[in-house]
Amino acid sequence: MGCCTRPAQQPFFEEREGNSYEGTAISGAPRALPTL
């Protein structure tokens, strides 16, 4: 996945699908992911 490749300023989950952030964050929450 390109979670760690996405910049911290632009959440990858928001760019991916918007609602997929919930599943993606739980599936494999990257360290760069902001506090949900």
Tens-place pLDDT, residues 7-32: 555 555 454 554 544 545 455 555 55
Distance CA 8, CA 12 (A): 8
Run of H or E residues at 16: helix 12-16
Q: Whole-model pTM?
A: 0.12
What are the boundaries of each domain within the chain? 1-36
One-letter amino acid for residue 20 of the chain: S
Are 20 and 11 in contact, with CB atoms under 8 Å apart? no
Q: How confident is the model at residue 34 (pLDDT cuts 50, 70, 90)?
A: low
pLDDT reported for residue 4: 56
